[in-house]
Amino acid sequence: MGEYKFPEGFKWGSATSAHQIEGDNHNDWTEWETSPARISELKKEGKDPNGFISGRACDSYNRYEEDFDIAKKLKQNIHRFSIEWSRIEPEEGKFDFEAMKHYQGLVKSLRERGIEPMVTLWHFTNPVWFVEKGGFLNNKAPEYFTRYAKYVVDNLKDDVHLWITFNEADSVYPGWTYLLGLWPPQYKLKIFKYQRFIKNVIKSHILAYQELKSAYDVSPGSAEASSTTMSHNMSIGITVNNAYSISGNNLYERIIRRVYNYYRNLYFIKKTFPYYDFVGLNYYHLDRRAPGSYDVLPKQDIMPGMSWEIYPEGIFHVLKGLKDFNKPIFITENGIDDSSDQKRGKYIKDHLYWIWRAIQDGIDVRGYTYWSLLDNFEWHKGFIPRFGLVEIDYKTLERRIRPSAFEYAKICETNNLIYDK
């Protein structure tokens, strides 16, 4: 057994998103979940539509203090969560201050427990009015998003120092929405819509970054907002989902992998550079879309509910691929669907070992937030996947801390990984 000490001040926590845990939202996803077309689709697949409607979810909108008590009990000192845009701006240009007060209370609740809030402004869901205008396909989307972002920041800036504009808008969301057609509005192979979405999200992020820096009186070009430092008062990042892509060893296969890896993992980060202070990395699995991969690496263990191939060493390679951007990195999501809780403890430790290895190689990783604190509504997969450190009984909403969560808590408390390679 080896001991692997993490840097002093390293942050340990977990992550959630509003739509997946809050309950009783009204946005483009809730309208899609209950649409006749969606319900008909699920019935044709032999599935109960009730298991794919978010409904009250975990009721965390009302029970967040209970959830944060659990996070504190588990020795966590950072928590990543998202703001639900449709609550803040239910009608175009009309902000709901009561909803804003709710999130002010949520942030205060984290602070009272000694937990640093990390706030994501967009995590897949959109207000209905925004979608009716075309969403991020509308060229005015950067103005709409920035107006919302500025309102939130103006109301939380005294207590929140870590911000993320977009979660996985790089390839995951547009891929599932405009190419695979599995997420609303379920377009398939709409390449131009896919490209326009990414283009407008990049513009939205850059405009919001500039406006939010101004809200904190930090000039984007100042030393305080430089590429190697993070402002104590205001740090804005982007979150990308990077898989580790591999291929065979011949020249053709390596070229395909290199091109694919650029557009899959690096394009969004390069196009928004230098307008972010840190990178949030979500990492879950191996990617074999480039040809010849089985020639160099045999098939790995599969995450059952998601059909993802688990490869912990991949996070080391993905982190090294981000080194040239010279930005601090937070692991903002990393987790496993494991209802039996037989693999979660090992999964966390395996990945933390390779994160530690990356830090030894000079990668500036600042923290780790496991996905997720709670079991939650997993988008088009419904309530079936179980990612939580905390099990949710969806009938009673009882919270039960899983044994693996206490294993992770020891690491959080000691800043030290005890691990058998």
How high is the pLDDT of residue 226?
Answer: 45
Q: What is the CATH number of the domain that holds 315?
A: 3.20.20.80
Dig out the tokens for 248 from the structure. 């065979």
- Residue 252 is part of which domain span? 2-419
Dig out the tokens for 392 from the structure. 């949710």
Q: What 3-state class would DSSP assign to 59?
A: coil
Dig out the tokens for 295 from the structure. 């020639």
| 191 vs 201: CA distance, rounded Å | 15
Residue written as token pair 């966590």: 76
Measuring CA to CA, which residue among 288, 307, 292 is closest to residue 245?
Answer: 288
Dig out the tokens for 25 from the structure. 């939202």
Domain count of the fold of the chain: 1
| 113 vs 109: CA distance, rounded Å | 7
Helix (H) or strand (E) holding 189, with range, is: none
Q: What are phi and psi of 114, to 5 degrees?
A: 75, 25
Mind listing the pLDDT tens digit of every residue in the chain (421 residues)?
899 999 999 999 999 999 999 999 999 999 999 999 999 999 999 999 999 999 999 999 999 999 999 999 999 999 999 999 999 999 999 999 999 999 999 999 999 999 999 999 999 999 999 999 999 999 999 999 999 999 999 999 999 999 999 999 999 999 999 999 999 999 999 999 999 999 999 999 999 999 999 877 666 555 454 444 565 579 999 999 999 999 999 999 999 999 999 999 999 999 999 999 999 999 999 999 999 999 999 999 999 889 999 999 999 999 999 999 999 999 999 999 999 999 999 999 999 999 999 999 999 999 999 999 999 999 999 999 999 999 999 999 999 999 999 999 999 999 999 999 8
| 120 vs 414: CA distance, rounded Å | 27
Measuring CA to CA, which residue among 185, 182, 142, 184 is closest to residue 165?
Answer: 142
* Total length of the chain: 421
pTM: 0.96
For the chain, first and last CA: distance in Å? Answer: 7
Q: Which residues of 125-164 are buried (b: 16+ CB within 10 A; e: fewer)?
A: bbbebbbeeebbbbeebbebbbebbeebbebbeeebbbbb
Measuring CA to CA, which residue among 367, 283, 329, 333 is closest to residue 115?
Answer: 367
| 163 vs 339: CA distance, rounded Å | 31
Measuring CA to CA, which residue among 175, 180, 176, 185 is closest to residue 126?
Answer: 185
| 188 vs 177: CA distance, rounded Å | 8
Question: How deeply is 91 buried, as exposed, middle or buried, from its count of CB atoms within 10 A (0-12, 13-18, 19+)?
Answer: exposed
Question: CB under 8 Å to 28, separation ≥6 — which residues?
Answer: 125, 126, 127, 128, 130, 131, 135, 184, 185
